[in-house]
C-alpha cells in the first residue's frame, strides 16, 4: 500500500509520523524519532481524501499535522512521541469502517479522529465505541453523533446541524423573506440540516416551497435549479458541500438566479469560496471558524504557521478542526496524566480549550451532557475579495457563542451510557 510522502500524494494507505525536533518537516517526509525503549503513541485519522470532500479532508489532516508537530516538539504526550496514521474513507461507509478496524486491530491506535462525512463518522463511532477508543469527530455535523446516537467515548469538534441552523435562520427570515427552497445533499448530514432549518422556519412563521435532494458528487445542478427557480422562493438555501457547493454556485450565477432570489445557507467553507470564480462568491452563510480575527490572541501565529505548509494560503475551519482534535488528546492527557480512554472521556466533560487552541473570542468547551464542543459561529456574507487581503473572502458581521445557538442537552436526544 502507498505511503504518504507529501500532502499532495496521499494514497489509500497513508502514515504521517512526526518527530519532536522536526517542526513541520514531516509534511515532506515521514519520520520517527522516539526515546529509546519507548513505544510511540498512535492516533488514527480517517477522512475522505478522495471524492467530493477531498479538499476539506486534506485541510483537516494538515491542521492535525501542525498540532502533532507542536506536541512532539514539546516532548509528545506524557513523554511519548506521537504518530498520526491517516486513512482514506473515500466517502464510503463500508470503506470507513474497514479502515477503522485496521487502525484499531492492526495498528493499535490509542485515539481516533474523523470523519468529514457524517454517515461515515457515525459508522466508525460504532467501531471505536466497541473497542473503547477515545474518538473525536472532527468534521461530521449530523445531530445524532452528539444526539440520539451519542456514545461515552465520542466527542465532536465541529457544530451540530441544529447549531448551524440556529445561527442564521433569524437573519435570513428578517432580511430576505419567509418562503424558502432547499438544495440538499441526499444523506444524513443534509437531511438533519434541512430538518433543523425547517424547524426554525416553522417557528418564525415561514413556508417551504420545496426541496431538491441531490446525490453526492453531482456536477450538473441545472434540473434542480430550474425547479427551485420555478417555485419562486424568497431564499434559496444551499446545503450541499465541497465540490458540490462549487458546482452549484457556479451554475446559480451562470443562470442569473442570484439576481432573482437570495442565495444563502448555513455552513460555508473557505475551500469552496477559494475554488469559485470571484463573481460566484455570493450569499449569506456561517463559518465555524474564520482566520481573520484582529486582536484575538494567537490567531496570527496559527495563520502564519499554516501559510508555511499550505502554499501561502490562509487556514480554514477545517485546519482548525484537525488542529483542535489532535491537541485535545494532548491537553487532556497532560491534565489527567494518563492515556486511558475512559478516564480521559470522563475528564473532557466541561474541559475548556486554552486561548492558543480555541483561537476565537468566546469560551470554547466540551459540554459534558452530550460531548459537543461549544464553539462560535461566524455569520456574514461571501465576498469576491477582501479590501486589504485577497484571501479575505468572507465578511464577518457577528460572532455568536456556541452556548447561544446550541439546544439544551435535554433536547438533543443524547443519553450517555458509561462502562462500569
pLDDT of residue 27: 38
pLDDT of residue 6: 34
pLDDT interval class at 257 (50, 70, 90): very high
What value does the mean pLDDT of the chain take? 92
Mean pLDDT (whole number) for 15-24: 37
Question: Residue 386 has which C-alpha cell?
Answer: 477582501
pLDDT interval class at 18 (50, 70, 90): very low
98 CB contacts (<8 Å, ≥6 apart)? none
C-alpha 68/C-alpha 111 separation (Å) is 13
Cα three-residue angle 282-286-288, rounded to 5 degrees: 130
Answer yes or no: are the C-beta atoms of 377 and 167 closer than 8 Å: yes
Question: Residue 94 has which C-alpha cell?
Answer: 463500508
pLDDT of residue 120: 97
Instruction: Write the secondary structure of the chain as one string of H (helix), E (strand) and C (coil).
Output: CCCCCCHHHCCCEEEEECCCCCCCHHHCCCCCCCCCCCCCEEEEEEECCCCCCHHHHHHHHHHHHHHHHHHHHCCCECCECEEEEEEECCCCHHHHHHHHHHHHHHCCCCEEECCCCHHHHHHHHHHHHHCCCEEEECCCCCHHHHCCCCCCCEEECCCCHHHHHHHHHHHHHHHHCCEEEEEEECCHHHHHHHHHHHHHHHHHCCEEEEEEEECCCCCCCHHHHHHHHHCCCCEEEECCCCHHHHHHHHHHHHCCHHHCCEEEEEECCHHHHHHCCHHHCCCEEEECCCCCCCCCCCHHHHHHHHHHHCCCCCCCHHHHHHHHHHHHHHHHHHHHCCCCHHHHHHHHCCCECCHHHHCCCCCCEECCCCCEEECCEEEEEECCCCCCCCCCCEEEEEEECHHHHCCCHHHCCCCCCCCC
pLDDT of residue 388: 87
12, pLDDT greater than 60: no
28, pLDDT greater than 50: no
Mean pLDDT (whole number) for 153-160: 98
Mean pLDDT (whole number) for 250-265: 97
| Nearest CA among 34, 33, 25, 35 for reference residue 5 | 25
| Nearest CA among 339, 415, 370 for reference residue 133 | 339
Domains parsed from the chain with CATH numbers: 7-159+296-375 (3.40.50.2300), 162-287 (3.40.50.2300)
pLDDT of residue 2: 33
258, pLDDT greater than 90: yes
pLDDT interval class at 15 (50, 70, 90): very low
Question: Residue 256 has which C-alpha cell?
Answer: 442569473
pLDDT, tens only, 268-323: 999 999 999 999 999 999 999 999 999 999 999 999 999 999 999 999 999 999 99
pLDDT, tens only, 106-126: 999 999 999 999 999 999 999
Mean pLDDT (whole number) for 68-88: 98
pLDDT of residue 38: 75
Question: Residue 130 has which C-alpha cell?
Answer: 466497541
pLDDT of residue 35: 41
Answer yes or no: are the C-beta atoms of 142 and 118 closer than 8 Å: yes
pLDDT, tens only, 212-236: 999 999 999 999 999 999 999 999 9
C-alpha 244/C-alpha 108 separation (Å) is 35
pLDDT, tens only, 182-202: 999 998 899 999 999 999 999
pLDDT interval class at 11 (50, 70, 90): very low
What's the order of all strands across the beta sheet hosting 179-185? 207-214, 179-185, 235-238, 262-267, 284-287, 377-382, 394-400
pLDDT of residue 5: 33
pLDDT of residue 31: 34
Burial (CB count within 10 angstroms: exposed 0-12, middle 13-18, buried 19+), residue 322: buried
1, pLDDT greater than 90: no
254 CB contacts (<8 Å, ≥6 apart)? none
pLDDT of residue 386: 85
pTM of this prediction?
Answer: 0.90
Amino acid at each position: 500500500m502507498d505511503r504518504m510522502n507529501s500532502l499532495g500524494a496521499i494514497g489509500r494507505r497513508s502514515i504521517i509520523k512526526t518527530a519532536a525536533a522536526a517542526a513541520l518537516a514531516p509534511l515532506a517526509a515521514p519520520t520517527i524519532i522516539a526515546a529509546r525503549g519507548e513505544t510511540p503513541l498512535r492516533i488514527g485519522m480517517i477522512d475522505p481524501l478522495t471524492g467530493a470532500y477531498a479538499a476539506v479532508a486534506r485541510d483537516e489532516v494538515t491542521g492535525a499535522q501542525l498540532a502533532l508537530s507542536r506536541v512532539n516538539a514539546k516532548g509528545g504526550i506524557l513523554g511519548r512521541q506521537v504518530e498520526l496514521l491517516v486513512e482514506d474513507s473515500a466517502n464510503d461507509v463500508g470503506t470507513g469502517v474497514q479502515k477503522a478496524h485496521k487502525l484499531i486491530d492492526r495498528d493499535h491506535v490509542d485515539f481516533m479522529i474523523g470523519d468529514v462525512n457524517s454517515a461515515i463518522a457515525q459508522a466508525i463511532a460504532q467501531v471505536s465505541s466497541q473497542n473503547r477508543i477515545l474518538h473525536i469527530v472532527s468534521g461530521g455535523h449530523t445531530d445524532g453523533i452528539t444526539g440520539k446516537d451519542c456514545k461515552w467515548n465520542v466527542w465532536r469538534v465541529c457544530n451540530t446541524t441544529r447549531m448551524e441552523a440556529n445561527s442564521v435562520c433569524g437573519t435570513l427570515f428578517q432580511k430576505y423573506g419567509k418562503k424558502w427552497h432547499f438544495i440538499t445533499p441526499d444523506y444524513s448530514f443534509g437531511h438533519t440540516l434541512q430538518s433543523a432549518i425547517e424547524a426554525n422556519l416553522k417557528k418564525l412563521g415561514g413556508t417551504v416551497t420545496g426541496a431538491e435532494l441531490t446525490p453526492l458528487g453531482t456536477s450538473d445542478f441545472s434540473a434542480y435549479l430550474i425547479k427551485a427557480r420555478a417555485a419562486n422562493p424568497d431564499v434559496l438555501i444551499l446545503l450541499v458541500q465541497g465540490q458540490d457547493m462549487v458546482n452549484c454556485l457556479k451554475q446559480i450565477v451562470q443562470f442569473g438566479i442570484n439576481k432573482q432570489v437570495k442565495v444563502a445557507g448555513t455552513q460555508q467553507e473557505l475551500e469552496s469560496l477559494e475554488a469559485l470564480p470571484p463573481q460566484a462568491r455570493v450569499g449569506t452563510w456561517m463559518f465555524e471558524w474564520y482566520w481573520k480575527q484582529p486582536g484575538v490572541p494567537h490567531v496570527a501565529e496559527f495563520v502564519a504557521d499554516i501559510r508555511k505548509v499550505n502554499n501561502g494560503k490562509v487556514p480554514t475551519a477545517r485546519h482548525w478542526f484537525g488542529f483542535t482534535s489532535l491537541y485535545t488528546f494532548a491537553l487532556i492527557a497532560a491534565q489527567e496524566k494518563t492515556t486511558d480512554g475512559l478516564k480521559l472521556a470522563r475528564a473532557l466533560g466541561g474541559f475548556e480549550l486554552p486561548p492558543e487552541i480555541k483561537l476565537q473570542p468566546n469560551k470554547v468547551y466540551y459540554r459534558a451532557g452530550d460531548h459537543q464542543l461549544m464553539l462560535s459561529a461566524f455569520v456574514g456574507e461571501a465576498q469576491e475579495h477582501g479590501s486589504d487581503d485577497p484571501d479575505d473572502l468572507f465578511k464577518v458581521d457577528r460572532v455568536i457563542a456556541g452556548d447561544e445557538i446550541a439546544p439544551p442537552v435535554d433536547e438533543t436526544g443524547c443519553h450517555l451510557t458509561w462502562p462500569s
